[in-house]
Amino acid sequence: KNYQVPVYSSALTWRAILAKDSSLVRQNCRLIDNNRLLCGDLEVQSFSIPHDAVDPHGYTFTSRSNGSKCTYLTDAGFVTDTIREAVAGSSALVLEANHDVEMLKNGPYPRHLKQRILSTLGHLSNDTAGHFLTELERLPEHIVLAHLSEHNNLPQLAQDTVQNILQDNNRLQETELFVAAQNRVVADSPLPAVLDLK
């Protein structure tokens, strides 16, 4: 709205955005055909996720020249077969680890909001994220835990929980784990070339 940049969206999501703010310039919207978008060497593929929004999606970013794939998955209430299929074969994964269940249950949020977050249309917990990773045949080489709640999680707690689950299943040595933050970069040095999808 402020910068007149193109917005890529599914038709259902765009209709919902316009219903909230009809002043948006329609020509800025680019609809994603068949949930797929090509941008130079990069193929962006969206996939449906369960969340209490209109037509929510996760994304894979794949280099057509070398096949390297990064998957972005946040705002998911639970892990579906569609999600498993999208994540399979990823070199890198940005994965929601939104909350610690006990912190959420004992935290300041009202009951209805706690129930929403814990529902199948809510958010993935640290434990759910960790157990999902153990289900993968091959772990991504790099995993970034993301979308951490400021009130119901701690970066070290998210990392420790997922690390411990991977360790208990003898999978920790297969990957490098990072935790994203809203106000700082993930790593002081560039992440390895596997994340370079030029």
Q: Which structural domain range is residue 83 located in?
A: 34-195
One domain, residues 27 and 38: no
Cα gap 77→63, rounded to integer Å: 28
* Rg from Cα positions in the chain: 18
Crossing angle of the two packed helices 126-135 and 155-168, in degrees rounded to 10: 30
Q: Residue 147: which CATH number?
A: 3.60.15.10
- The tally of domains found in the chain comes to 2
One domain, residues 7 and 90: no
Amino acid at 177: L
Tens of pLDDT along the chain (198 residues) come to: 677 788 888 889 888 988 888 777 666 777 776 788 888 999 999 999 999 999 999 999 999 999 999 999 999 999 999 999 999 999 999 999 999 999 999 999 999 999 999 999 999 999 999 999 999 999 999 999 999 999 999 999 999 999 999 999 999 999 999 999 877 776 655 554 444 433
One domain, residues 14 and 99: no
One domain, residues 23 and 48: no
